[in-house]
Amino acid sequence: MKNAYRVVIIGGGVVGASVAYHLAKFGWTDIALLEREVLTAGSSWHAAGGFHALNADPNIAALQAYTIDLLSEVGAESGINIGMHMTGGISFATAPERWEWLKASYRSFQSLGINDVELIGPEEIKARCPVLSTRDILGGLYSEREGHIDPSAVVHAYARAAKKRGAEIIEHTKVDGLKQRPDGTWDVVTEKGVVHAEHVVNAGGLWAKQIGRMVGVDLPVTPMEHHYLVTETIPELVEMKGEIPLMVDLEGFTYTRQEQKGLLMGIYEVDHKHWNMEGAPWDYGIELIQEDIGRIESELSLGFRRFPCLETAGVKRWVNGAFTFSPDGNPLVGPLRGLRNYWVACGVMAGFLQGGGVGKSLAEWMIYGEAEADIFGMDIARYGEFASNREYIRQTTGQFYSRRFVMSYPNEPLPAGRVLKRPAAYEGMTRAGCRWGARWGLEQPLYFAPEGFKETPTLRRSNAFDLIGAEARAAREGAALLDITAFSRYEVSGPGAEAWLDRLFASKLPAPGRAALAPMLAENGKLKGDLTLLNWGDGTWWIMGSYYLREWHMRWFAGHQREDLARGAVTVRDISDSVTGFAMFGPKSRAILQKLTHQDVSNAAMPFMTCRTLDVGLIRAKVARLSVTGELGYEINCGALEQATLREILLEAGAEFGLREVGFNALLSLRLEKSFGIWSAEFTQGYTPGQTGLDRFIAWDKPDFVGRAAALAERAAPSKRVLATLAVEAGDADASGYEPVWKDGRLVGTVTSGGYGHTIGKSLAMALIDREQAVPGNALAVHIVGDECSAVVVEASSYDPAGRAMRG
C-alpha cells in the first residue's frame, strides 16, 4: 500500500470492485480499493446471483442492460470463469391488471431500444419451464438476456480486471476514519496507517452508513433481511436438457432459478424485517442470519404450489442474508454537497444486476464531470436531509421491500413516510376535499373530491377523471387556485449575483421587475434545469423550479458558486420552506386580484412576465405574472406563516367569480394543451435544448455561459429527435411516458408524457420523435397500456396557439 492515491475506494463488494474497474478502464489507474476483510465479505458473497431486465424505471433498466452485456466481457478480460448461465428469464402474471402492466412494460422496453424481450402465453411458458404449474398464468414477459452468475467470481473478475489495468486491491485493511484537508483532499485513516487521497468513494455496502458518519453524513440506507433456499437434486430437472429460465412470480413474491440440478427460490416477504438499521457490526463478514421460516410461510406455500416438484424436494441450505436498501430501492450514487471529492456508491440492492451501470456512471462523473446516462433515479441528491430520519427510512424501505413485486399504479399514493411536510394551508384544503400525493416529503394537492370519494388505482383513466376535468374547465372559463408550495425558490444576492447568474444560465437575464424562462446547461450541453428567473429590482433575484430538485440544484449551484467566487460575492439561499403561495389563473383572475389590491394590475401596468411586490389583502406578497396553464395568471408568493390567510383572502374575494381550488392533475391537462414541457418528462439531464425546444430561450450572442460550446455544436448539427405534440385516438387510457411511437411499424420516437386535454376533448402526448416525422398532420401510432392507438402530429399549443389568453 502506497502513502497516496488519486482515488481510494472503501469497500470490496461488487460495487466497489466495479467502480475500481471502470475508473481504471477510463484512465484513472492510481487507485486503491480498501477492503476491511476479504473481497465479497458482507452481502456480495451470499447473493442469489440472478440478473434480469425488468425495472420500473427505464433509465435504470438501460443501465441493467449495460451490466448484463459487461459481465461476460469482464470475465474474459480477467480470465475468471464467472459462471454465467444465460438461461433467459420470464416474469409472469396471474392477474389481468398485471398482464396489462407487462404488456405496457414490453412496449416501454421497445421504446428504449431493448429488443431482446417478447410477450409469451402460458403454453410457451410451460414449454420453457416444464416444472412450473401454469394453471392460472395469463402470460409473461420473456427476456433472452437473463440468468445467473457466480457472485464471488464476478467480484473477483472486476477486481482482477481493475488490477490488470493498474489499480491496487488491498484486503484486510479496515478504514477507521476520514479527515478532509483544507485543499479538499482526504486523509484516509486505516488500521495500517494514513493514506492520502484526492478522492474517496464510499462503496461500503452494509457499512456505508458508518463510513458516511465518518464525514458527518447520515445516508438514507439500511440493511434488511432476505431469504432464499436451495434444494437437493430434483429428478424432473435431471431428466431435462438445459436449464429452466429465471422465473419471477410477480403475484407470489418469489423468484426461482435452477441451481445445478436443484432449484433456488428467493422470497420478498410481505412481513419484512430490518437488520441492524445503523449498519452492520464491524466484525461481521462471511456470515448469515438465522433463517425465520415462519415469517415467510405464506410466500413459501404459494411458491411450492407454483413448483409442485418442491413438495418432495429436500432443502440443502437456507440463506438469510442482509443487503441494503434506500427508500425507493434504487442506488445512492454521486457527490455530496459541501463535501468536495467525496463520492457515494451504496444502497445498490441489486448489486450484480446494477453494479456495472453504477460503476460506469460514477467513474464518468468523477473523470468527465457528468455521467453519460441520465441517472437521476439513483443520484444521492434525489433525497434531502429529511430522508435520513430513522423512522422515515424504516417506513419507506419496509414499504419498498414488501412491495418489491406488488404492482404500483401511477394514481396510487403510498402511505410510508407520510404525512411529513405539509403546506401551511393543508388543514383548510383537506376540509375542502383535497386529495394529496407526496414528493420529496411534501404533501402536494392532486385534486379535490366530495366527502367519501375514493379513487380506484388503475393504469387507465380513473374514477377521478370527471373531477379533474371539471377543475381544468374552471381554469379555462373562470378562475382556479393552486397551492404552489411545491415550487422551489432560491434567493440570489450579492455584488456578484448578476455576473454569476449570467454565466450559469444560457438565457438573457430579465430586466428589473421582469421574469424570464431560463434553461441551465451542463458543460456537455445537456439540460440542468428549465427554471424561472425573477429580478425583483432591489439587487435580489429568485430562481424558481421544482421542490423535489432542491438538493440536486443546490449542489449544482454550490459547485459553480465556488468556481465563480472571483467574480464577486454571491449568496444563494434555499428559501423554499419559508416562502410559499398560490397560483391563481383563468380569465377572471385579474379581476379577483384587483379587488384585493390598491395597486394597478391592469395589462398595461403589469404585463405578462412582470414581477413586483403587491399588497394582497393583508399580505405583502411578491407576485409574478406567469402561467403554466396558458391562461392569464399570477403566482402569489408569501411567507409560510401567511399561506393559510392568503388562501382565505383569495377564496373570499373570488367567490363571486367562481374561483375554484384545483390540484396538479388538472395542471397536467392544461399544460399539455399548451405543449408546455416539465422537468423529469420533456426536460431531463439526458436531453438537450435543441431536442426539447428550449434552445429558443438561449441568448446565442452571450460570449460565455456554462455549456455554450456544446450548445453551439448542437445548433450547427441539429439533434436527430425533437419534441412534438400528438393527438391520440385513445380508448379509456392515456399515455404517461416511455411509450413507443411508430411510423409504419418502425420505431421513430418515445412519449415523454401524456394525458387528457379536458378543455379540447382530446388525448394528448408529448414525444421526442425523429425530426422528419415532426410535421403537423403526420400519421403515427402509439402503444398505450400495450394497445396500439392511432396518433397524429399537431401544431404546438392545441389550445390558444397565439397565446392571447395568457398575454391579454
Contacts of 744 (CB under 8 A, 6+ apart): none
Residues 6+ apart with CB under 8 A from 694: 519, 527, 530, 683
Mean pLDDT confidence for 145-159: 96
**pLDDT (0 to 100) of residue 407:** 87
Domain count, the chain: 2
pLDDT digits (tens, 9 = 90+) for 726-749: 999 999 999 999 999 999 999 999
What average pLDDT does the structure give for the chain? 95
Q: Per-residue pLDDT averaged across 766-771, rounded?
A: 98
Domain assignment of residue 20, yes or no: yes
∠ CA 33-85-362, rounded to 5°: 30
Residue 333 lies in a domain: no
Quick one: average pLDDT of 65-79? 94
CATH label of the domain that carries residue 653: 3.30.1360.120
Q: What is the mean predicted confidence (pLDDT) over 307-314?
A: 94
Looking at residue 112, its pLDDT comes to 81
Q: Residue holding cell 424505471?
A: 57
**Residue 147 forms part of a structural domain:** yes
Query: Domain range holding 158?
Result: 4-325
| 543 within a domain of the structure (yes/no) | no
Judged by phi (left if over 0) then psi (alpha if -120 to 50, else beta), residue 262 lies in: beta
Given 596, 627, 658, the domain boundary residue is: 658
In this predicted structure, what is the pLDDT of residue 562?
Answer: 64
Distance (Å, rounded) from C-alpha 371 to C-alpha 380? 14
H helices of 587-678, in order, are 589-596, 643-654, 664-673
Q: What is the pLDDT of residues 580-612, one digit of tens each?
A: 999 999 999 999 999 999 999 999 999 999 999
Average pLDDT over residues 761-790: 97
The rounded distance, in Å, linking the Cα atoms of 295 and 291 is 9
Tell me, yes or no, whether 260 lies in a domain.
Answer: yes
**Residue 109, pLDDT score:** 86
Q: Is the pLDDT of residue 565 over 60?
A: no
Q: What is the mean pLDDT of residues 253-258?
A: 96
Indicate whether 610 belongs to any domain. yes
CATH number at residue 159: 3.50.50.60
Report the DSSP pairing between strands 193-202 and 186-190: antiparallel
Examine residue 370 and state whether it is found in any structural domain, yes or no. Answer: no
pLDDT digits (tens, 9 = 90+) for 384-434: 999 999 999 999 999 999 999 888 899 999 999 999 999 999 999 999 999
Output the pLDDT for position 113. Answer: 82
pTM of the model: 0.95
Domain boundary among 614, 630, 658: 658
Among 285, 305, 325, the domain boundary falls at 325
Give me the pLDDT at residue 54, please: 67
Q: Does any domain span residue 84? A: yes
Asked whether 239 and 45 are in contact (CB, 8 A), the reply is no
Query: What is the mean pLDDT of the segment spanning 268-285?
Result: 93
Q: Record the cell numbers describing residue 498, joined without a space.
A: 448578476
pLDDT at 52: 81
pLDDT per position as a tens digit, 450-499 = 999 999 999 999 999 999 999 999 999 999 999 999 999 999 999 999 99
Q: What is the DSSP letter of 455?
A: P
- Is residue 564 pLDDT above 80, yes or no? no
Q: What percent of the chain has pLDDT over 90?
A: 93
Question: What's residue 57's pLDDT?
Answer: 72
Res 368: pLDDT: 95
Question: Identity (one letter) of the amino acid at 57?
Answer: D
